[in-house]
Structure 1
Amino acid sequence: MQRRYLGLAAAGVATVMAAALSGCGDTAATGDVTLRLVAADYGNSSENSSQKYWDRLAADFEAGHSGIDVDVKVYNWNEVDTRVADMVKHGNPPDMAQIGAYADYAAQDRLYSADELLSIPNQADFIPSLAEAGEVHRVQYGLPFVSSTRVLFYNKAHFAKAGITQPPRTWDELRDTAVALKRAGVPVPYGLPLGPEEPQAEALNWILGGGGGYTDKIGTYTIDSDENIRTFQWLRDEMVAKGLTNPHPAKTDRRDVFSAFTQGKVGMLNGHPTLMGMAEKNNVDYGMVPLPGRRGTSPATTGVADWMMAFKAGGHRAEVGKFLDFVYSKKNVLEFAEQYNLLPVTNSASEAMRGNRKNRSLWPFLEQLPSAEFYPVNKQSWAPVAKKLKLTIGKTVEQGGDPASVLAELQREADASENASPS
């Protein structure tokens, strides 16, 4: 890792430029700078909106950094990526954006790299698997902000009623457990969300358990691999066809099965940390275990990360770097993760979370983070591939569905998108 350049010479040049550009934007002759950040909202009401977190964080930062103000606009996940894209399109990108993907902007050479922004200790503090997921051609442009992994949730009351004493560790045990739950009258033994909301996560959970993945170890798409085909054939024949899941997985979204689980209608499902609070609010007594795999516990689980990035256009590299060093302090990383039941992205905050028993419900997710598999978000081609996957992956498990055909179509889309992307 390179040491970012924040020497006095650069600061002097920035001051001269500020004076020369006194009529442009917020870079006034006084040398004062206002950094603009667009961020996603992780709350579900005005009471726990992320705007409150950012306003407090900005105020704390400004108190110790005279001459730098931070203006934060928070939008919900349905619009935040589009907001940033529109700002970029109209030549007015924010200084920073905390959104879902960074690869397009990195490919367009619009972003500062991590080593141009962060101090060496902060850059080295990122969990390695997350830092790697933020790299394009081995240069880190995406700064992981928060993350999550997946575990198998199960309803303890349903298990007890069905006489099940151990949660499943293999796919065959999962099927047999689902059969017992169905006999005990559980409406949906296993909740399978392959509808268009977020099927890429559920699909990845399954193909990882089957020894496959979206890409191989060198990043080549392997969507139509034999392992992946066999995974969806098993899921179609052993779970869906036998009535052990919700009736129409291709039309069922994650929020649907989460809601059904909290209502006591689902026996098992793959879930992330947010489901804990939802279940507890509805007094559901649940357990959590690692995901089952074909022959044993799955060798990996799905990891999902959201990203911070810094745009070059504003020219405020030094000021942005100071603010991001503050954002990625152990205290601030841990505070945000705890507030929203998410996982911290740095080693120091992870160790702090692991050392505090009030966070013990998050430990099963935290333990899996170093070995989690992430979407290939460092590929510019991933966005169109994911869009098509959302609309088609559910067809693999429909009655009469042909996994080989569906996955081959996705592979062609992936290859075409990859070839069309800048090298």
Structure 2
Amino acid sequence: MQRRWMAGTIAVVSALGMTAVLGGCGMTGGSAGLTLKLVAADYGDNAANSSQKYWDKLVKEYEAEHPDVEIDVSVYSWNDVDRKVREMVAAGDPPDMAQIGAYADYAAHNQLYKADDLLSIPVQADFVGQLATAGQVKGVQYGLPFASSTRVLFYNKTLFDKAGITPPETWEDLADDAEALKAEGVEYPYALPLGPEEAQAETMQWMLSGGGGYTDSVDSYGIDSPENIDTFAWLKDDLVGKGLTGPVAPGELNRAAAFAAFAKGDVGMLNGHPSLAKIAAKAGVKYGMVPTPGKEGTTSSTLGVADWMTAFRKNGHRDQVGDFLDFVYSEKNVLAFSREYDLLPVTSSASSAMAASGQDRHLRTFLDELPSSELYPAGKTSWADVSAQVKQQIGKAVAPGGSPSGVLSRLQAEASRAESAE
């Protein structure tokens, strides 16, 4: 394990909070002090649970043990944080650290430290395996997983009991349950949010349930694979075409609206992540959760999602940044963050602690899915463009008169062009 130099003052910009305007990065705070800046995303949904509070507490504890270190944290909403960091990088003034949604573009331009350069061996080895792999570009890890979640099928127990049905295990079961819910007057028997907010997630969840995915066995895009075409043909013909997805066209239904409808008791089934459990419980909805149904049985792999911590090379400060990140990724701190925002730990030690704890029972279903989950191809610099295209176009694949093979083939052609430009 490399020996770290700790003479300066580290100023980290809070990862996970709102507001705060960033100044320049680099040496600030006095002759003996080194200030490291961290820009972070806010996982809270109001001022009372802003991520800024998490970072303030963590930084206070760190600085108490490192009196020559100052951590300067700025937290922005998810609507702004990636753009803020892009603007800082473009201006030649990147933060020392950024906790954001993507890393591949910065890594491709040699702007980031490698995980090997930053973290102690025990900390780096503690990352959940597939999350660490998803942080790699060409076999080298640049993205440090910071928060994760998986997707499962939520169902409204009250509506299911009224219809006399049980949770589905296969696509056929899901369609039958949706028919029964429709007969009982349920507005959205199955909510299928393929609107532009987060269509890439629902799309990948369904691709995986049909044995496909965004990429093939050699990690090239395989969007128009036979498996994916069959999946969307089934969605179009057996769910959407039979009026089982509700009054709003899937291409116009966003995830937030679908979650809100579930909280109102208007949805029988939908795919969701841990925050939906919190939303539903707060609204008094009696819900259950099961693994996503597959074509022939329970899906072998579900969608996993991760957000990323990155460290920029321009300002130097490698050892100081690494020391602080070792602290950030301690079991105690990873657990505290995960519990505060109902997310899954990104380290094996914290995952084991959560699995053994009674206070985390509501997350156990999601935690059980994590080892077999598959993540977006975030290591491809083309993924941001491909994801944007999926958000805009995939709803057309299940629309009346739409062509699943035609839409997926167009997306594949655009993805191939973007990939060849990497």
Q: Does 1:96 align with 2:122?
A: no
- 1:63 has 2:60 as partner: no
Q: CA distance change for structure 1 residues 286 and 89 in 2, over 3 Å: closer, same or farther?
A: same
- Structure 2: which 5+ residue stretches go unaligned? 10-24
1:179 aligned counterpart, secondary structure: helix
Q: CA-to-partner distance for each residue in 1:295-314, whole Å, 9 max, x for gaps?
A: 00011111000000000011
Residue 217 of structure 1, CA deviation: 2.8
Q: What is the aligned partner in structure 2 of residue 124 from structure 1?
A: 125
Per-residue CA deviation, residues 91-114 of structure 1 (Å, 9 max, x unaligned), is: 000000000000000000000011
Aligned to 1:169: 169
> In the alignment, does 2:333 pair up with 1:336?
no
What is the letter of the counterpart of residue 283 of structure 1? G
Contact 2:26 2:35 in 1 (8 A): no
Partner of 2:208: 208
In the alignment, which residue of structure 2 is the partner of 1:18? none
1: CA distance, partners of 2:158 / 2:102: 39
How far, CA to CA, are the matches of 1:318 and 1:31 in structure 2?
A: 16
Task: Give the deviation of 1:187 after TM superposition.
Answer: 1.1
The aligned counterpart of 1:230 is 230
SS in 2 for 1:47: helix
Contact 2:99 2:146 survives alignment (8 Å): yes
Rounded to whole Å, the distance in 2 between the matches of 1:347 and 1:94 is: 28
| Structure-2 separation of matches of 1:109 and 1:257 | 40
Correspondence 1:135-214 to 2 at 5 A: 135-164=136-165, 166-214=166-214
Could you tell me how far apart the structure 1 residues matched to 2:26 and 2:162 are? Answer: 66
User: In structure 2, do the counterparts of structure 1 residues 160 and 29 end up closer, same or farther at CA, with 3 Å as the change threshold?
Assistant: closer
Deviation for aligned residue 1:370: 1.1
Instruction: Tell me which residue corresponds to 2:358.
Output: 357
Matched, 1:318 2:282: no
Distance of 1:95 and 1:369 partners within structure 2: 30
Distance 1:92 1:31 in 2: 22
Aligned equivalents of 1:394, 1:28: Cα separation in 2: 51
Aligned ranges 1:370-409 → 2 under 5 Å: 370-409=371-410
Q: CA contact under 8 A between 2:26 and 2:36: conserved in structure 1?
A: no
Partner of 1:21: none
The AA in structure 1 aligned to 2:316 is G
Indicate the residue corresponding to 1:72 in structure 2: 73
Partners in 2 of 1:386 and 1:185 — Cα distance?
Answer: 35
Give TM-score, length-normalised by structure 2. 0.94
Q: Percent identity?
A: 59
Partner secondary structure for residue 47 of structure 2 = coil
- Distance in 1, matches of 2:131 and 2:324, equals 21
Q: What's the C-alpha RMSD, in Å, of the aligned pairs?
A: 1.5
Please say if 1:419 is aligned against 2:416. no
1:194-250: CA deviations, max 9, x gaps?
000000110111110101010023211000001000000000000000000023000
What whole-Å deviation, never above 9, does each CA across 1:106-139 have from its counterpart, x for those lacking one?
Answer: 0000000111111100000000000000011111
Quick check: 2:29–2:35 contact (8 Å CA) kept in 1?
A: no
In 1, are the aligned partners of 2:104 and 2:379 still within 8 Å (CA)? yes
In the alignment, the residues of structure 2 paired with residue 290 and residue 239 of structure 1 have an alpha-carbon distance, to the nearest angstrom, of 19
Query: Unpaired segments of 5 or more residues in structure 1?
Result: 16-23
Do the aligned partners of residues 28 and 257 (structure 1) sit closer, same or farther apart at CA in structure 2, a change above 3 Å counting?
closer
Amino acid in structure 2 at the alignment position of 1:138: G
Question: Which secondary structure state, in structure 2, belongs to the residue aligned with residue 305 of structure 1?
Answer: strand
Shift of 1:31: 3.7
In structure 2, how many angstroms separate the alpha carbons of the residues matched to 1:69 and 1:219?
A: 42
CA distance in 2, matches of 1:25, 1:50: 24
The 2-side partners of 1:45 and 1:192 are apart by 27
Residue 26 of structure 1 deviates from its aligned partner by 1.5
